[in-house]
Chains A and B, each alone.
Chain A
Amino acid sequence: MANDGIGASVPRKEDRRFTTGQGTYTGDVNLAGQLHAVFVRSPHAHAHIKSVDLSEASKMPGVVAIHTGEELEAGGINHLICGWAITSKNGSGMRMGPYPPLAIGKVRFVGQPIVAVVARSRDQAEDAAEAVQIDYETLPAVTNPVDALKPDAPAIHEFEADSSVWEHGRAPSNLIFDWELGDAAATDNAIKSAKHVVKIDLVNNRVVPSAMEARAVVADYRSSDGHFTLWNTTQNPHLLRVVLSAFINVAPEHKLRIIAPDVGGGFGSKIFTYSEEVVCLWAAKQAGKPVKWVSGRNEAFLTDAHGRDHVTTAEIAFDDDYRMLGLKVDTIANLGGYMSLFASLIPTYLYAPLLSGQYVIPNIHVNVRAVYTNTVPVDAVRGAGRPEATYVLERLIEKAARELGVDRAELRRKNFVREFPYQTPVLWKYDSGNYDGLLTKALAASKWDDFEARKAEAAKRGKLRGIGLSCYIEACGVAPSSAEGGALGAGVGVWEMAEIKVNPVGTVEVLVGTLGHGQGHETTYAQIAADRFGIPIDSVSVIEGDTDKVQQGMGTYGSRTAGNGTSAVYRALDKIEAKAKKIAAHLLEASEEDITIANGEFSVSGTDRKVTLTDVSLAAYTFHKLPKDIEPGLDEKAYFDPTDLTYPAGAFVCEVEIDPATGTTEVVQFTAVDDFGNVINPMIVEGQVHGGVMHGLGQALLEEAKYDPGSGQLIAGSYMDYCMPRAHDLPKSFDHAFQKTPTPNNPLGLKGCGEAGAIGSPPAIINAITDALGTEDISMPATPEKIWRALQSAGQNA
């Protein structure tokens, strides 16, 4: 049955369910007697709440309860938390403004929930929500992170006077932290004494995560024993349970069951704990009835944590032989009105350590100032920090090559890391890789050397053709829980847990603490289990997302499932295999060492004696004739804590054609060569690359969560104005190839693949555009108008 095992492009088991409408999403869950919650949200970006008048609303038909922030606070409900502590370079802790689930006294972004109306129907709740009278005193708003640091910027949170470590006695009012990584003095010296220095200013545009399924909550409460059940669109049910119980105090952990049924995408936005989960649990307890909330798309725009939003200046120094000497990066990161669950981690440890890229850069210094603005909180979106880092480094190198008149590919090649493990000057230690091999493959596959002929042919058709390169580095699995994770400020561990149950009839259940939300986990995990015993994947079921079934887990984000989830499954399978062999040896009256497994059978090497997996599992449960040193059952659990992150890498080549009359860009060829280590299901992994590249293409060409700077309104607040990539935006030609350099950091040698496409593609696309235009002055999204304007001003200057 090797066809179903590791390395086979098995069609996804779960797709039959998804494509025939048989999936069960949180919105599909309806409980008897359920009530509906509707949130009254701030129409203002920044305002004092002078008064809230519920008298009219509470008299409306069907209204059961109306909840406020003050009520939750009096009931002992704590604020939403940020789970990663970052310390400023002067030793100050990060400045966390209070984030009550329902606003108290002040609102800090348009869409912030203030009041929750619970009624018998959704329509009744909406009618009553409209009758809630809130009197605001509006305040000046700031949405741009650079403006937020200016001395005259409106102060979004009120902090106590700071200690003397800050200049002028206190931190700039909207500063969250001023953090650094790397050696500032050594980097400055390297740049000062260098032959060549190249500088770039960049904005990494803000994006809306846009999962196909919007967030939803169904909260149920059983008063007889105080037990809660929460159905929720979450990427990490166990972590959510810890946060809701231990930190927010809305339900005790042992009486809170969280079920993530089918989840329709997340891209990071469903990692975090949101107000709506807290409020619906509270409301269910008060009403003694289930409470449901399903986000509308307009609410999703205004409440799902956004991504990116960096403003960066970077400079890189080379010696006279074009070897990199130093890299200095200064970034201002917009974290929105409040700090979301992992907001502080994204522009720090998921960003700065990646700035070494695939290169030997002896000196690196990164300074990051995180700021509050009157915008939706910003947190992880696919790639989370790594796309921002890759964009800085790969655009800077491309610009350097052009400015210095050297070949772009050769400039990279000359500076590649070639020996592993490699300790970067910014924390991470790369375990394995072959960056030269990736680049060589990508250049060959993209016919890089023949580009000039294609450019000339395009010119005859009146098109400007450009080619761009991006060599990205990834860091998957967040961080090891052990020494480093804790020391860097993590509030959580980052291990994973799996349990394998072999049923009495020999079928296998894999229970694992990750949470697939479109990635194909049910197929991938089944292949690993099937591979171990040589059984078909149809004999394997995969269970995720229910805290009553799966005992522990850390969820799915940061491309961590491949490295950590599969490793936990692998370790549990090791235990199962050991016990099964012991039982088989007993049944076959042979020695354990002589037992081999193939095609669902346990054989004694060199003989024709064998028993099936079913024989073994039946014996384990009937337990009629097994010796006393074996326990009944065939069910094992394992935790896996990685010794380090994994470091996938790749080389992307993008080729574009620009219509100079309109400025329209067409991606005519995209070549991706990725090193994800070993690969379980190449088809699924290629699908992840395709999706990731399209995600990056969206950011590079189409998507921008634009705010009106004066009013703080999200102007691009619907898909009429916020442009998602469509099928016709796909590259006309898409080539993908693997290079496999297995990581030594986990048993299967897997590195992770879910984010790579979104990390590597934006600079490849923009570098192709700058190549076509002959100007570096293009920002994302590179809309037709921006390109047309760049051509107009180039024409005027020429």
Chain B
Amino acid sequence: MYQTRYHRPGSVAEAAELLSKAEDGRYVAGGHTLIPTMKHRLAGPSDLVDLSRLSELKGISEKGGTVTIGAATTHYEVASSDAVRKAIPALAALAGMIGDPAVRNRGTIGGSLANNDPGADYPAAVLGLGATIHTDKRKIEADDFFTGLFTTALEEGEIIVKVSFPVPKKAAYEKFHSAASRYALTGVFVASAKDGAVRVAVTGAGANGVFRAADIEKALSGKASSDAIDAVSIDPSGLLSDIHGSAEYRANLVKVMAKRAVDAIG
């Protein structure tokens, strides 16, 4: 690891201030991507600004049909939250599927979303539920947030403060684990909103990261049954291909996981 300066700010404003002054600074929350990268000397930020202890970024609340989760909330806290389990059980279940207990006790929702790993689970829930990302500067709708592999609509220095999820009528997440890393080789989040609209978000499979499966959404809008997905054809050309799975295999998994999610909703 290269030498770096570690900062523990007292507020979101101070964090942004520290980063803006740093020569080549990075925010760190759970650190599950950044710290291993630094240990391998593949990243060498001059300054690390720790967001994980900021009280402004903590906490879970449910009010008026919306679940709001602070950006520095750990996966474990989401998975074990009574409020989340009651309002959006699929979201709690998703958080409980991330990595292993060590990861879940350090990793945060804000960190996961800002990093936007193509195999990460949270992007599927955020996009599938049509959540809103609140930053220290603005609100960003899920459909506008994820812009490509490891890239988001966040501007330099912008900090995710919280994420608000509209409580759906029903939702389910089905994940096919990548055997080695436990990331999603393909994960499909299906949500049926209170107004009846169905959203289907796919993580792990897309060549440009998380995406909404428009054809599946369309098929389900007529008939919310897994059989409706059989006729959908998923084009592998827009999907990832790597040593863990070809695009064709991922295309199959998109359908299989989507069907299972629909069946889980019942």
A-side residues, CB < 8 A to B, are: 123, 126, 130, 298, 661-662, 702, 706, 715-716, 719-724, 783-785, 788-789
Cβ of B179 and Cβ of A719 under 8 Å apart?
no
Interface flag for B6 (CB, 8 Å): no
B241-265 contact mask (Cβ, 8 Å, vs A): 1 or 0: 0011110010011001000000000
Q: Answer whether A298 and B40 are a contact pair too, CB < 8 Å, given A722-B180, A788-B249.
A: yes
Residues of chain A contacted by B41 (CB below 8 angstroms): 126, 130
Cβ of A123 and Cβ of B253 under 8 Å apart?
no
- How far apart sit A719 and B176, CA to CA, in the bound complex (Å)? 18
Cβ of A662 and Cβ of B245 under 8 Å apart?
no
A706: contacting residue among B179, B243, B245, B256, CB under 8 A: B243
- How far apart sit A716 and B244, CA to CA, in the bound complex (Å)? 10
SS class, residues of chain B in contact with chain A: loop
Residue of A nearest to B249 (CB): A785
Cβ of B180 and Cβ of A723 under 8 Å apart?
yes
Cβ of B245 and Cβ of A785 under 8 Å apart?
yes
Cβ of A720 and Cβ of B246 under 8 Å apart?
no
- How far apart sit A723 and B181, CA to CA, in the bound complex (Å)? 8
Interface centre among B40, B249, B256 (most CB of A within 10 A): B249
Cβ of A720 and Cβ of B181 under 8 Å apart?
yes
Residue of A nearest to B181 (CB): A720
- How far apart sit A715 and B243, CA to CA, in the bound complex (Å)? 8
Least CB distance, A649 to chain B, in whole angstroms? 32
Interface flag for B1 (CB, 8 Å): yes
- How far apart sit A721 and B119, CA to CA, in the bound complex (Å)? 13
| Chain B interface size, under 10 / 10 to 19 / 20 to 34 / 35 or more | 10 to 19
B244: contacting residue among A123, A661, A721, A788, CB under 8 A: A721
SS class, residues of chain A in contact with chain B: loop
Cβ of A123 and Cβ of B249 under 8 Å apart?
no
Residues of chain A contacted by B249 (CB below 8 angstroms): 784-785, 788-789
Q: Answer whether A783 and B180 are a contact pair too, CB < 8 Å, given A661-B256, A706-B243.
A: no
Least CB distance, B38 to chain A, in whole angstroms? 12
Cβ of A788 and Cβ of B252 under 8 Å apart?
yes
- How far apart sit A785 and B181, CA to CA, in the bound complex (Å)? 16
Least CB distance, B80 to chain A, in whole angstroms? 20
Least CB distance, B46 to chain A, in whole angstroms? 16
What are 24 inter-chain pairs, A to B, with CB distance below 8 A? Answer: A123-B1, A123-B3, A126-B41, A130-B41, A661-B252, A662-B176, A662-B253, A662-B256, A702-B180, A715-B243, A716-B180, A716-B243, A719-B180, A720-B180, A720-B181, A721-B180, A721-B181, A721-B243, A722-B180, A723-B179, A784-B179, A784-B249, A788-B249, A788-B252
B-side residues, CB < 8 A to A, are: 1, 3, 40-41, 176, 179-181, 243-246, 249, 252-253, 256
- How far apart sit A310 and B246, CA to CA, in the bound complex (Å)? 25
Residues of chain B contacted by A785 (CB below 8 angstroms): 245-246, 249
Least CB distance, B2 to chain A, in whole angstroms? 8
- How far apart sit A123 and B243, CA to CA, in the bound complex (Å)? 33
Given contacts A123-B1, A126-B41, 14 further A-B contacts (CB under 8 A): A661-B252, A662-B252, A662-B253, A662-B256, A719-B180, A720-B180, A721-B181, A721-B243, A722-B180, A724-B180, A783-B179, A784-B179, A784-B249, A785-B245
Residue of A nearest to B119 (CB): A720
Residues of chain B contacted by A783 (CB below 8 angstroms): 179
Least CB distance, A512 to chain B, in whole angstroms? 38
Residue of B nearest to A703 (CB): B180
Residues of chain B contacted by A716 (CB below 8 angstroms): 180, 243
Interface centre among B1, B244, B246 (most CB of A within 10 A): B244
Interface centre among B3, B180, B244, B249 (most CB of A within 10 A): B180
Residue of B nearest to A783 (CB): B179
Least CB distance, B242 to chain A, in whole angstroms? 9
Q: Answer whether A702 and B40 are a contact pair too, CB < 8 Å, given A721-B243, A788-B249.
A: no
Least CB distance, A768 to chain B, in whole angstroms? 18
Least CB distance, B166 to chain A, in whole angstroms? 31
Residues of chain B contacted by A126 (CB below 8 angstroms): 41
Residues of chain B contacted by A706 (CB below 8 angstroms): 243
Least CB distance, A564 to chain B, in whole angstroms? 37
Residue of A nearest to B183 (CB): A720
Residue of B nearest to A663 (CB): B249
- How far apart sit A702 and B181, CA to CA, in the bound complex (Å)? 12
- How far apart sit A720 and B256, CA to CA, in the bound complex (Å)? 24
Residue of A nearest to B186 (CB): A662
Residue of B nearest to A720 (CB): B181
- How far apart sit A662 and B254, CA to CA, in the bound complex (Å)? 10
Residues of chain A contacted by B180 (CB below 8 angstroms): 702, 716, 719-724
Least CB distance, A716 to chain B, in whole angstroms? 7
Least CB distance, B204 to chain A, in whole angstroms? 13
Least CB distance, B230 to chain A, in whole angstroms? 12
Residues of chain B contacted by A784 (CB below 8 angstroms): 179, 249
Residue of B nearest to A661 (CB): B256
Residues of chain B contacted by A130 (CB below 8 angstroms): 41
Residues of chain B contacted by A722 (CB below 8 angstroms): 180
